[in-house]
Amino acid sequence: MTLILVIAITLIIAFFLSKFLFKGHQAKNLPGGSLGYPLLGESLSFRQAQKQNRGPQWFEERVSKHGPVFKTSLMGSPTVVVTGQAGNKFVLGARDDVLATKQPPTLATIAGKENIFELTGSRYKLVKGAMMSFLKPENLQNIVKHMDELIKTILLRETENKDTIKGVATMKKLTFEIASSILFGIKNEHTTEALSDDFSLAFKAIPTLPFNIPGTVYWRGLRARSRIVNRILPILKERREELSKGKLSPTSDVFTCLLTLRDENQHPISDDMIIDNYFTLIIASHDTSAILLSLMIWKLSRDSQIYNKVLDEQMDILRKREEGIDDGLTWAEIHKMKYTWRVAQELMRIIPPVFGSFRTAVKDTQYGGYDIPKGWQVFWMAHGTHMDKDIFDKPTEFDPSRFENPSKPIPPYTYLPFGGGLHTCIGNEFAKIELLITIHNLVTRFEWSQVHPEEAITRKPMPYPSMGLPIKIKPRKL
């Protein structure tokens, strides 16, 4: 009873507080829509729609009622949602002094307030430049062999003496180990496993409401973040010492890139900033990659025509190697996997791993004839243009060939699996290489089928096969 009373009083206070806070906005020309309940907004109904894979319909219902610009309240903040190519361009092309890349409170707290999505101006350019120096194509060429060997080892280990595996869990483990080893040079198995467990808890806290109450998902996520920080700090200390002794170079991994970074005053960036960007890059390189790989396995299991074309392309790479030579994949061979990548592109069009993202209005601004008050969130979503029949012919059909010499070019700000504008995902090439190497090893070494052929997709908030994608798997007979 005491807990119920506390919640009731909190909601009543929040109701009157929200009335007070939004009083000044009543004179503004806000778009149509509803801010929902105090504190909760419309977050619960949106989350429920996402779980049922009805996120697009949730937005479409509001667009049909209020138009392509509407207001709501998501993840604890009043939000203006913009849709369509013009809306995407407005958000993704805006200057930082108009719309900042400040994320919802939960993501900002879990990832840290100095992560790259929260930075602006010179600090953003500084950190992005350091990360890009490690992720640029000429550097990625040098990690192909290492990544191929690592993926091969993980797949053989995870399938050893097993005839059934959970596809989603396996892909999450694989992508986390790749990110930890290749991006951050963390190779200790115990440390990697402990970090993986805590990141799993941290990820679950991001789409929740920011109530730091013992026992809640958000509370557990914050505690997981603290444990991760305590594990990373000694690693940073060790890397700093190795750099000073000349045992490591600034390009050894992302940690060393950031540790050797200097601002305009030649001061090193703080450990807090390094750790916050470690969080962000792990989130970006691990969870979204695991999603796409899981969806690829799911799609190839269900569509024999697509599967056979992918298999033929990958086997052709092996057939064209010099007889007896198996030194692993090369950069040139990865560039031959054109059809496999088109399948991934089409999957990301129909089921975008990132549904959309938030910005925050730094000052009062306008869009589409409406006011957007300072401090409000602005949200864009990929679905609005990915499934637009005026942009993609027969958008509900799965057709990888639409990315092969399309009859009409895809307009800017309409196909956005990696975002767009200044804040396009910096790890998109890394993700592409990781996916192609993993699929190559899967289809050339294994055969598999779904345990539940009718398994649906759900969002939590990322899109995953709803049952974890259990698959029956066995070595391929060559």
Predicted pLDDT at 242:
94
**Which sign does the torsion angle of CA 22, 23, 24, 26 carry?**
positive
Domains of the chain and any CATH numbers: 31-475 (1.10.630.10)
Predicted pLDDT at 10:
47
**Which sign does the torsion angle of CA 359, 226, 249, 435 carry?**
negative
Contact 43, 379 (CB under 8 A): no
Predicted pLDDT at 7:
47
Strands 463-465 and 470-475 come out as unpaired
Contact 128, 121 (CB under 8 A): no
**pLDDT, one tens digit for every residue, the chain (478 residues):** 454 544 444 444 444 444 444 444 555 799 999 998 887 888 889 888 887 878 889 999 999 999 999 999 987 789 999 999 999 999 999 988 899 876 677 888 888 888 887 777 788 888 888 888 888 888 889 899 999 999 999 999 999 999 999 999 999 999 999 999 999 999 998 999 999 999 999 988 887 778 888 989 999 999 999 999 999 999 999 999 999 999 988 888 999 999 999 888 888 999 999 999 999 888 877 778 999 999 999 999 999 999 999 999 999 999 988 665 667 899 999 999 999 999 999 999 999 988 888 889 999 999 999 999 999 999 999 988 999 999 999 999 999 999 987 667 889 999 999 888 777 778 889 999 999 999 999 999 999 999 999 999 888 778 889 999 999 999 998 6
Predicted pLDDT at 102:
67
- At 20, is the secondary structure helix, strand, or coil? helix
Predicted pLDDT at 323:
64
Rounded Cα distance between 189 and 181, Å, is 10
Secondary structure letter of residue 286 according to DSSP: I
Rounded Cα distance between 41 and 34, Å, is 8
- At 354, is the secondary structure helix, strand, or coil? coil
Secondary structure letter of residue 475 according to DSSP: E
Rounded Cα distance between 425 and 333, Å, is 24
Helices (H), 188-303: 189-205, 217-244, 254-259, 271-282, 288-302
Please tell me whether 257 is known to bind a ligand: no
Predicted pLDDT at 100:
84
C-alpha torsion 157→163→167→169, nearest 10: -60
Amino acid at site 289: S
Rounded Cα distance between 435 and 289, Å, is 7
Predicted pLDDT at 26:
55
